[in-house]
Chain A
Amino acid sequence: MPEDSTEQLARLWTKSQPIVASYILSLVPDHHRAEDILQQVAVVIVREFEQYDSSRPFLAWALGIARNLVLKSRRKYAKESSRCIFDIGVVERVEAAFLQHEDELSEFRQSLRDCLKQLRNRDLEVLRWRYVYNFAAQEVARKMGLTSGAVRVMLHRVRRFLRECVHRRMEASE
């Protein structure tokens, strides 16, 4: 691959990667499995990049690759984890929505960083146990000396705060 292609690929992937990662997570709601699939997507994208038609949106191309890898692996995932999986019609609607909201989601990211600064230590702590250590509510409860119900409520509340905070900031910047 010529070096200018490598650079172009790096720039396109940098911009699209968070959305591709979220798309995979939306269909395979397991952070570790989703990250494994994301790596596979990156491998295919690099290998096939010379075939990419630059007149078309890169994100659409990347999501197409992600969709196929997800569809390949999610049956096994559903069987192993006893989880329900979305029908193909819903998968397509979700993919279309990610494409539609590409610009908004990029802005969302910056606003979320700002909103995180407003959280109290206790709220950050519950988020860290959940997202950094990938603990379920029950395990977070044990770590924090709370009931699992209280942790679930706390997580919903903190996410709602962040969602509304992001929404306010994005509205203000429009």
Chain B
Amino acid sequence: MNQSSNDLFEMIDNYIDHEGSADQFEQLQARLAQDSEHVSQFVRQVFLHQQLRELLVAERLATALEVVRHPRSSSVDSGISADGFFWTPVKRVAEALPLVTIARATVLCVLVFYAVKGAFGPGIYSSGYVTPATSPAQGPQASVAVDTPARFSATLTPISYCVFDPSSAPVSAGRQAPLRPGQAISLIEGVAKIDASQPLGGRGSFVLEGPLSLFLDAEGMPSLQHGKLYARFKCDRDRFRIDTPLGKILVSWNTELGILATADEVAVHIFSGAASFEPILVISGDPQRRELYRVSSGEMLKLKAASDENIEIERGPAVEDAFVTNISMSAYHLTIMPEYVQAVRKASPDAYWRFESAQNGFVPNEMSDRYRCHIEGSVGWHNYPGNRTVEFGAFDKGGCLVSTDTFPPVSEYTVEAWIKPSHFHLGTILTFVDHAVKRNKHGLLLELCGPALIRDYTASSKNYHPGRIRFLHRSDVGKLHSGVSTFSRQPYKLRQWQYVVGVKDKTRLRLYVDGNQVSSSKDSRPLAEGLSVIIGQLQPPSTSVFASSRSFLGEIDEVAWYPHALSEEEIRKHFELVNP
């Protein structure tokens, strides 16, 4: 290939990458105007750019969905590299791509069909704006009306810290947003909820777990392109429909279900009520073979696009464990025996919040009148035999526990908590903050890292720590890029109780999970002065919106803070008193 060709390709790359100068653009335009071969090379090179994006995004989604599909399996760990990418062999994805591509394109086409059909239906819209789109060459006179129908409403609420694809960011960080028909939602990370109502009073609640992509058709029905969705419906006379890459799910009456969808596989789990699945015609091929599959309570129906363009059907029991339902969250109990409480008390914590009671909006500290926590927003309580825990994320409004009493600037301390996270998400278990400081106000932080699909939020670390537990100690509160973090090596478990302890002694900070030390870092500086506690989110409520402030999703119990370092033996004993 000669120098002239190389120059041309470099100009084309710069044009697509937004890296070239105006002069370079003029040169490119001149060459395209003069030489047909250059136009051919331009077309091939742009096609290369476009296809690279499509193939790599498809690979990215496919691998991310593996994590969603098997959140508790060991593949979660091995699937995520230290730098946060999901290093999946290209081969596996590439093999799936013909179907991926077909399904994506088909979905776009079929779903747009529904959207347009609905959008132009008589009497559905009260008003609309018109975008003419014409093709003189072929003559179609098109007008696209998109507006909110008078009889439909839907609202999106982020439940946790959410990252949306910039090209489809329907909601400002942390705030509720009304949704419009035709709106696309690409949730890269986090948990969000859509509440939709039907003209005849039917209501649907959809919990979206990123990575997920969907859009609403003209009737406000979600068209799920990929991802994990849990939904509850209450309807007498309406019917809800959820489009998936392989067909439509139709729901009447009161139904609770979960869906896992990729471009070539869709699984529907019915937890109560019933639904029908209508496979997509274009993939099933023969119109005569089109049929409705009934799925009843307790059943699972899985459809998989086979290589011969048929759909393989598999039935089985519904798996609640794969979704955040009342049953799956309740499957693991936390039983706290009096011996455990005695052991904690004996170790002399300054603060010990058991969450067994709340009076006048305060959760008491079992050790003294100081450090009692005020309930901000809405939190839930989960009752187990002989024990009660605090639950975060159960309400749209969000909530946390806050104390204004400050802790002493000790050189050693220990913080411990029992946690049961519901999702992989970026969420704060507990933090100590200086309210007088605007940024980097956290002197102590115990938090969960999310899937870390896109954002590097740990300024002190080059690497991502997807699905890990983080313990941060920062003496220089308010100073940018300060503090020392240590991270667990294994991902935390979902919907199971885990015992997390952060110990800061004179020279190091150490992190323990379930009684075992999992990581440590060097730091000899003491706890900063003037810090007070927030449990359940990162920022104080007065300065933030709940859902944008790394809200914890799940349950927390038996939180204690000691002004000294617990020994390994004490930590192990605490763990064994709950898990003998």
Contact = CB atoms under 8 A, between A and B. Distances in A.
B43 A98 contact: yes
A51 B39 contact: no
Contact of B16 (A25, A109, A114, A145): A25
B44 A101 contact: yes
B313 to A, nearest CB: 20
Interface in B1-33: 1, 6, 9-10, 13, 15-19, 22, 25-26, 29, 32-33
A6 B116 CA distance: 13
Contacts of B480: none
A48 B142 contact: yes
A97 B53 CA distance: 21
Size class of the B contact interface (CB-based, 8 Å): 35 or more
Chain B facing A: main interface SS? helix
Interface in B23-54: 25-26, 29, 32-33, 36, 39-40, 42-54
Nearest to A41: B133
Interface string B94-118: 1001000110011011101101110
B140 interface: yes
Interface in B125-142: 131, 133-140, 142
A146 interface: no
Interface string A38-79: 011011111110011100100011001101110010000000
B102 A160 contact: no
A44 B131 CA distance: 10
A69 B44 CA distance: 22
Interface string A95-133: 011101100110011001110110101001101101111
A64 B136 CA distance: 8
B462 interface: yes
A130 B43 CA distance: 20
A132 B56 contact: yes
A135 B90 CA distance: 21
A7 B282 contact: yes
Contacts of A114: 94
Contacts of A141: none
A2 B90 CA distance: 39
Nearest to A117: B90
Contact of B133 (A69, A130, A134, A166): A69
A18 B102 CA distance: 11
Interface string B119-155: 0100000000001011111111010100000000000
A84 B105 contact: no
Contact of B281 (A6, A18, A87, A133): A6
B112 to A, nearest CB: 5
A47 B114 CA distance: 10
Given A10-B106, A93-B32, A131 B44 contact: no
Interface string B205-249: 000000000000000000000000000000000000000000000
A65 B43 contact: no
Most buried by A among B33, B55, B112: B112
Given A14-B106, A113-B94, A116-B55, A19 B47 contact: yes
Contacts of A40: 131, 133, 144
Contacts of B42: 26, 94, 97
Contact of B47 (A22, A160, A164): A22
24 contacts: A13-B106, A13-B109, A14-B106, A18-B54, A22-B43, A25-B16, A25-B49, A26-B46, A39-B112, A42-B109, A42-B112, A45-B109, A56-B138, A68-B136, A87-B29, A90-B29, A93-B32, A112-B55, A124-B90, A125-B85, A131-B49, A131-B52, A136-B17, A163-B9
Interface of A: 1, 3-4, 6-7, 9-11, 13-14, 17-19, 21-22, 25-26, 29-32, 34-36, 39-40, 42-48, 51-53, 56, 60-61, 64-65, 67-69, 72, 81, 83-84, 86-87, 89-90, 93-94, 96-98, 100-101, 104-105, 108-109, 112-114, 116-117, 119, 121, 124-125, 127-128, 130-134, 136-137, 143, 145, 152, 155-156, 159-160, 162-164, 166
Interface of B: 1, 6, 9-10, 13, 15-19, 22, 25-26, 29, 32-33, 36, 39-40, 42-57, 60, 85, 87, 90-91, 94, 97, 101-102, 105-106, 108-110, 112-113, 115-117, 120, 131, 133-140, 142, 144, 166-167, 184, 281-282, 287, 454, 456, 462
Given A51-B139, A136-B18, 14 more contacts: A17-B108, A22-B50, A26-B46, A29-B16, A39-B108, A42-B108, A43-B112, A47-B142, A47-B144, A84-B26, A104-B44, A121-B87, A132-B60, A163-B45
